Structure 1
């Protein structure tokens, strides 16, 4: 994401309506920028409804489930490399080794990650990012923020996201072929949004204030992940309250289970 694009995104977000804290609602100390955050949230929701959701729905309608599953698994497989590095940085060497073996196993037996044979053979996926790593190191989350296009975050996790984008094996700077890079990132975005379709519908159905629900769920989950690592249990497979991570679920809706 270059500086010009980021500037345009921030400008668009600031102009996306005049959302404010609902009258009579107490402010949350974790969210001192709530008025601005709601503007960005509204902007993201507008972009999603106008572009991302329709494209994702078309993707689900046209692309068979086995192919979508393969695409999701391949992106997750590449992500295991960065998770392995962060697990080691968090002093979780066993989880780092596990993620490394997952990548090797799925990249070979799983046909470049198309099939998640590692999970089927007792090697569960352990997601770890640099924002979580900084939390384990003792860096506080700071205020809650909503990022244009990227969604819920904190000041700490925003810095972590920048490092994640650079450390990602498929980072923009790591792919010289522009058409390939653009196609890869476009497919990645559509894949993530497609896996979030039903969870998004559920959010709109059950949440009186989707903004507050999303904020509280995100902060709760991030705190739980970091507490789990600090406690020494290395448990980053806690209940996933955060909507963006529904991407790891299966594509097909299951009875009684919501996914986006």
Structure 2
């Protein structure tokens, strides 16, 4: 019961948010951007996310980066990447990619047993390629269109398809499935802070380069998702790129 209640609440919240977004889209009119018909609503959510990022996430991530030694941060990143490889293995199998699924299996087993629970990325040293996949990509691989672009509170850039995929991803996340609530919440918080810390430099470049950060983030997200679904995903280890909260929670190149 302790495990299922939070997931049900979160799923209900996400479904309600998506319903509100779609209702808002009914009033966007015929002049709306075809890939972003919900733009007025999305920009409001984007501004909220950016404010949250400036006030909370970025300061905490900066402190984490300044205080935590680089080898420790690398170990934290490797640990969560190893966990994500389990779900990638499932999605590679669902996408009828047996070779990629096998690679993911061997990455998980190698890093878990020889990499001390995934803290050390032994699989990469052994040249076992990484194939990062999520359920949104699985839906896209089987022909489901992305639908309108959506910016989710806290999670950032998404689409109607990827929002549905995210709900399934939450069920497939081993950390989220933990029945120990304090441990689960601590790990999720650490993952969030570590991910945000890895994007500090990208966030600075975005601030300097983009005249309209909202439009830039949207275009990067949609282009990257299309590239991943069309089979152009990098197989070498890549940063978790899901842009910062205002620019993304998902995780957007993984700037969810």
Which residue in the other structure is 2:86 paired with? Answer: 81
Alignment partner of 1:146: what SS? strand
2:49 — aligned with what? 44
Distance in 2 between residues matched to 1:101 and 1:4, nearest whole Å: 31
Aligned residue-pair number? 228
The answer to whether 1:180 aligns with 2:183 is yes
Give the alignment partner of residue 116 of structure 1, picking from 121, 127, 130.
121
Distance in 1 separating the partners of 2:117 and 2:194: 17
Decide whether the 8 Å contact of 2:65 with 2:197 is kept in 1: yes
- The answer as to whether partners of 1:83 and 1:99 remain within 8 angstroms in 2 is yes
Q: Secondary structure, in 3 states, of the residue corresponding to 1:115?
A: coil
Indicate conservation of the 8 Å contact 2:46/2:151, yes or no.
yes
1:72 shift after superposition: 0.3
Q: Is 1:221–1:242's contact at 8 Å kept on the other side of the alignment?
A: no
When the two structures are superposed, what TM-score results if normalisation uses the length of structure 1? 0.81
Q: Could you tell me which runs of 5 or more consecutive residues in structure 2 were left unpaired when the two chains were aligned.
A: 1-5, 22-27, 245-252
Which of 234, 238, 246 is matched with 1:237 structurally?
234
Query: Where does the alignment leave 5 or more consecutive residues of structure 1 unmatched?
Result: 15-20, 229-234, 247-257
Partner of 1:219: 222
The residue that corresponds to 2:3 in the other structure is: none
CA distance 1:42–1:204, shift in 2 (3 Å): same
Q: TM-score, normalised by structure 2?
A: 0.82
Moved over 4 A (4+): 238-243
**1:238 deviation in Å?**
7.8
Name the structure 2 match of 1:232: none
Could you say which residue in structure 2 is the equivalent of 1:145?
A: 150
**Contact preservation (8 Å) 1:224, 1:238:** no
C-alpha contact (below 8 Å) 2:242/2:254 kept by paired residues: no
Please provide the CA RMSD for this pair.
Answer: 2.8
